[in-house]
Amino acid sequence: MKIYFISSDIKKYKEICKLFPFEIFHKKMDIIEIQGSMEEIVRDKAIRAYNSILGNKSSKNVGNSNRDNEDGNRDTENNKDKNIRAKDIDIGNINTTTSIKNVDNRDGEEDFAVLVDDVSLEMKGLNDFPGPYVKYFLGIGLEKIQKIAFFYGTECTAICSLGLVYKCGGNVCVITSEGRTEGNIIVSDDLGTNEFGFDGIFQPKGYQKSYGEMTVEEKNEISHRAVAVMHMVEKIKDLGIFMK
């Protein structure tokens, strides 16, 4: 079973590949994100991606990682009666509210799974804002975020949530995991060389470097994404899927 990591960010895909102990394929796609908690967002995002690729499989388009899916976020009236609910295998977690298209095999097509991630940055001085809306917050620029942190406090938490959707028997299952790294927004002119997102201004507690100043290997030892992947791999091992 192939696992497709759904993201328009190639740097994020390369980082994910180094963290997982098995092969991950890339599918470039922009997914509409709902407003809600990290749990709600990553579940909905994963299911939207699964539906999009499922639609592409019927058109024999799956596996082309360089091709964007222009129709991936459209759920037509004709498909609504074919939808089923995702099975929630995370005890204690909320049930997903997004339905999944019928997953009956067509013409012996290979089963697949989709993996998505969503990142949050909680700044303590801003009552955990921007949270899961950090992508839009980054739009003001790192320098302005540094100035905000200077006045309201630098302490923050970087969070990565992963969502995996796959076929399990006659159902479709959703697995989620989360990783957190405590740290501070650093007020510095040096944003490092490897930064993307808020890497250049986020310094994990106990370290003298920002993510942006670390090598990929150093970052992957401690990052919020690395922790989320570790928890996801543990769940996958416990369930006995994908791994021999």
pLDDT for 95-152, tens place per residue? 333 444 444 444 445 688 999 999 999 999 999 999 999 999 999 999 999 999 999 9
Residue 53 lies in a domain: yes
Structural domain total, the chain? 1
**Predicted local distance difference test score (pLDDT) of residue 63:** 35
Task: State which residues form the domain around 191.
Answer: 2-239
Residue 244 lies in a domain: no
Residue 27 has pLDDT above 50, yes or no: yes
Q: What is the CATH number of the domain that holds 184?
A: 3.90.950.10
- Cα 52 to Cα 140: distance, rounded to the nearest angstrom: 31
Looking at residues 51-70, what average pLDDT do you find? 48
- Neighbour-count burial for 112-131, b at 16+ CB within 10 Å, e otherwise: bbbbbbbbbbbbbbbeeebb
- Cα 19 to Cα 35: distance, rounded to the nearest angstrom: 28
Band the pLDDT of 71: cuts 50, 70, 90: very low
Which residues does residue 204 pair with via DSSP β-bridges, in sequence order?
Answer: 183
Its pTM stands at: 0.76
Band the pLDDT of 244: cuts 50, 70, 90: low
Residue 175 lies in a domain: yes
**Predicted local distance difference test score (pLDDT) of residue 243:** 63
